[in-house]
Structure 1
Amino acid sequence: MKDDMRLEDVGRKEETHWNIKSNLQRIILHIRDLFIQTTRIITSKEKLREHARTPLYENAYYLMAGSVVSASLGLIYWIVIARIYSPAEIGLASALISTVGMLSSFSLLGFNLGLVRFLPEDEDKNGTINSCLTMSGLISMMLSIIFISGITLWMPKLLFLKENMVFSLLFTFFAIIGSILFMQRYVFIAFRSVKFNFLQQIIANVLKIPLAIVLISLGVLGIFLAYGSALLLAVILGNVLIRIILPGYSPLPTIKKKVINDMLHYSFANYVAGIFGGISNFILPLMVLSILGAEANAYFTIAFTASMMVFTVPCAIATSLFAEGSNVPEKLRINAIRSIKLSFILLIPLSILIFLFGDKILLLFGRAYSENAFKLLSIFIISAVPISIIETYVSVERVRRKVGNVLVTYVIMATSTIVMSYLLMTRIGLVGVGIGWLIGTGIAALVVTTRQVRFILEM
């Protein structure tokens, strides 16, 4: 009897060993195919064109390009502003702009993701788009009124918002416009036409520069008007571009209860999950400031901001995967594989460049940043790999409407990142934050990898 049990145990171990070995072999084959396909694409103009025209890749590239262009033009904008406006005016205007952006973002309530998931299969696309735009506009108006009403409590330096009716009305109006612009972005993502949003971003970021110069005599109001007017023009352009994709579309204030009710659970669950997904970005700087001090926080901010540009790659690809999966759900698995492959194709050379020249790039901010932020930046860059795995998994689960899995994944990532960063920061300093971030994203990636690999290998 004992011999039979031993033989059975040995058989199970051998079977487990064989399964692990078999899965590893299949993963190695996928990696080998990745390099072969990459070489073929790079060395063939025809395959390069075919690659660029594939919706998954095309939209991912436009999303990446949009982030780079917005960041670059935004930097140019503030450089120009700094030369013609006083520091006090810039300080107040930047606070207004940041607050408008925050309120506009909060007002989405996840309906932006609901649009991407449900719009492709919706029969009444006009009603769905307008209902989401109207909801976000109303919520942003409500949030703006609440913010202005209690401004003496949370931001007394912006008290002039409450005292000056012109500023109050403009602040509320631009918050509404900002929320509409955010929502239009996801309309284009849902229709797999991100190139139109890319055009919007260029228009908004370019126009505010000459507008700020023309309105210089208005001081703080001039900067704020330039910013808001550029948003308004981008929204008007967006309505025109939506009509190209959806002939007959009219941007009318509408709230269809059935549309909202059908999307509410999915959208709000994604909204809550998104809060956990991004909460580390807000908490870590505060932790560094309170524990390690202002100087360390400056190094952290530069390293983290630089790494966020790299994280744009897997996040853009995952967003494109979400749109593709919503439009063509039967190709979700093959597109998930393509997404992971593309992430690695782009991240490997980009990471190598940063490892080799990152310290030189940081010299642009000063020698102290090069000496104190480079190690942290290098650790953040390594975490792009687990982030790719996490974001691909999240997009797949969003398409499959398993938002609970998305929430659990982000909660695990946020909790482990914050806890590990705190513990390591207090022991080994600033580098501990990077290691904590890497461990946190790594733990979340490990948790989802089993499901991810099983899902992909079903191909």
Structure 2
Amino acid sequence: MRTSAAPGIERNSLALAVSGVVTAGVGLVYWIVMGRLYPATEVGAAAAVITTATMLSAFGNLGLGAYFERFLPVAGAQSFSLPTRGLVVGATVGAVLSLGFLVVGPTDEMFATSAQMALFPLVVVVLSGFALLDHVSIAMQRADWAARKNIAHAVVKLLVAAGVASVAGRLGIILSWVLTAIVLAVALWVVIRRALLVAAQTPPAEGVIMPPWSDQRRFIAGNFGIYVATALTPLILPPVVIGLVGAEENAYFAIVWSLVSAVIVLMTMLMGPYVAAASAQPSDVVSLTRRFVAILASVAGVSSIGLLTVGPFLLQLAGPGYASAGTPLMRLAALALPLAVAGLALTAICRVRRKLWPALLVQVLNASVMLTLCTVWISRHGLQGAGWGLIVAEGVTTAVVAIPLIRVLSGRDRRWADQDQVQQS
């Protein structure tokens, strides 16, 4: 499915990159402004609510974003019902997870009143739909729609939160985030809904068919496994760092890791335009794959240079301790970013092929190497141990996938033929 006047893979990727940079920058300003306008305890509690809700919504979405990107382009008459059902599933699972968190989580520190607790499931549901609509836009090869929504949200929520600071506490911060997300998500859904209804009435391209539900289920399960394996490192590593070298060193680690993670998240999002385009245009898959890898490599290279040059300056602004302890780690992480291209490229290729077990094995290997080496080396070499662990983990991944990836890029791998490319009889 490609809507009329839809931009190509390069422009879709550029839209996501610009959106990622702008929202990250405005997001940094947002929390700085909140820190100046609201008491620290209110900012900390609100940040915990939003971060937790974002995490629960991500797990509740079950990896359906990648499912949309892979199957919506070939959904045909199901183009409207497929994402609609997915949005309902994501919201439902997210709500259930949020209710479980209210039972077992540290609610006393996060919520000042029972009304705020009652609001929490709604926050998770809203953030679930807000995120999934990005993937629907990408699947329709209109990443620019998602980019505009996210940039508008970053700016508007800052203005709203600043405007109510004199009369609101943490609830003002949370509501500024959620209410603006609702308005923008509804606006985007109106646009998406119209395009989906048109797509549902448009015959699919010749040779492009929707695979059976059994294949779709396997894709959802495999992709969720990849998501969990990918999430292991950012979830487990901070407690490992604080346990080995203490809270102060973890503060230095956290700011560097947040910058590196932002780049990895951006590179991961760039898989979407490629998967959607390759699913809709299977005859052009080799050319699209080469262009996608070139885009990934370019983003990794630019980000690496940025971390090497601008990164130390940002750490210096945070304080001399951050600069002295974090700069060596940032330089090592910058060197690891280009090595991450191979593993991400393999995951995207596996999504197009609907054969996810190789990507899952590679992600498990990457997380295992990274966490093992960090546990050993941080205790011996401090934070630089995490940097070397990242380099080795990505290096091992690159070595494992190099030959298959080269075969794909050279056009010698003939295994692209799958059920999406079988000519309809």
TM-score normalised by length of structure 1: 0.80
Higher RCO (Cα < 8 Å, 6 or more apart): 2
Q: 1:189 to 1:279 in 2, by over 3 A?
A: same
More helix by share: 1
Query: Which residue of the partner structure matches residue 423 of structure 2?
Result: none
Q: Deviation at 1:439?
A: 0.4
CA contact (8 A) 1:299 1:373 kept: yes
Q: Does 1:194 align with 2:143?
A: yes
Which of 233, 237, 261 is the equivalent residue of 1:280?
233
Q: Does 1:441 align with 2:391?
A: no
- Amino acid of the structure 1 residue aligned with 2:97: L
Structure 1 segments of 4+ aligned residues over 6 angstroms from their partners: 258-261
- Amino acid of the structure 1 residue aligned with 2:80: N
Which of 96, 102, 109 is the equivalent residue of 1:148?
102
Q: Distance in 1 between matches of 2:47 and 2:298?
A: 37
Matches within 5 A, 1:199-210: 199-210=148-159
Q: Distance in 2 between matches of 1:327 and 1:169?
A: 42
Deviations along 1:102-130, one digit per CA (max 9) or x if unpaired, are 12111111222111111111121111111
CA contact (8 A) 1:59 1:320 kept: yes
Which of 157, 164, 172 is the equivalent residue of 1:215?
164
Q: Does 1:317 align with 2:295?
A: no
Moved more, 210-219 or 392-401: 210-219
CA contact (8 A) 1:307 1:380 kept: yes
CA contact (8 A) 1:64 1:312 kept: no
Moved more, 345-354 or 271-280: 345-354
Q: Does 1:381 align with 2:331?
A: no
CA contact (8 A) 1:322 1:395 kept: yes
Matches within 5 A, 1:220-259: 220-247=170-197
Q: Distance in 2 between matches of 1:137 and 1:249?
A: 24
Query: Which residue of the partner structure matches residue 139 of structure 1?
Result: 93
Q: Distance in 2 between matches of 1:226 and 1:155?
A: 20
Which of 92, 105, 109 is the equivalent residue of 1:157?
109
Q: Does 1:344 align with 2:297?
A: yes
Q: Distance in 2 between matches of 1:350 and 1:270?
A: 26
CA contact (8 A) 2:45 2:111 kept: no
Q: 1:229 to 1:356 in 2, by over 3 A?
A: closer
Q: Distance in 1 between matches of 2:118 and 2:279?
A: 38
Q: Deviation at 1:212?
A: 1.7
Query: Which residue of the partner structure matches residue 204 of structure 2?
Result: none
RMSD, matched Cα: 2.3
- Amino acid of the structure 2 residue aligned with 1:375: P
Q: Deviation at 1:353?
A: 4.7
Q: Deviation at 1:342?
A: 2.6
Matches within 5 A, 1:154-193: 154-158=106-110, 160=112, 164=114, 166-193=115-142
Which of 219, 227, 231 is the equivalent residue of 1:266?
219
Q: Distance in 2 between matches of 1:211 and 1:349?
A: 33
CA contact (8 A) 1:379 1:435 kept: yes
Q: Distance in 2 between matches of 1:189 and 1:78?
A: 28
5+ residue gaps in structure 1? 1-52, 251-257
- Percent of matched pairs sharing the same residue: 25
Which of 334, 355, 358 is the equivalent residue of 2:287?
334
CA contact (8 A) 1:140 1:179 kept: yes
Q: 1:128 to 1:316 in 2, by over 3 A?
A: closer
Q: 1:172 to 1:240 in 2, by over 3 A?
A: same
Which of 315, 324, 330 is the equivalent residue of 1:371?
324
5+ residue gaps in structure 2? 1-5, 201-210, 413-425
**What SS does the aligned partner of 1:246 have?**
helix
Q: 1:190 to 1:204 in 2, by over 3 A?
A: same
Query: Which residue of the partner structure matches residue 415 of structure 2?
Result: none
**What SS does the aligned partner of 1:218 have?**
coil
CA contact (8 A) 2:137 2:146 kept: yes
Deviations along 1:212-265, one digit per CA (max 9) or x if unpaired, are 234331322222111110111121111122035334699xxxxxxx99766332
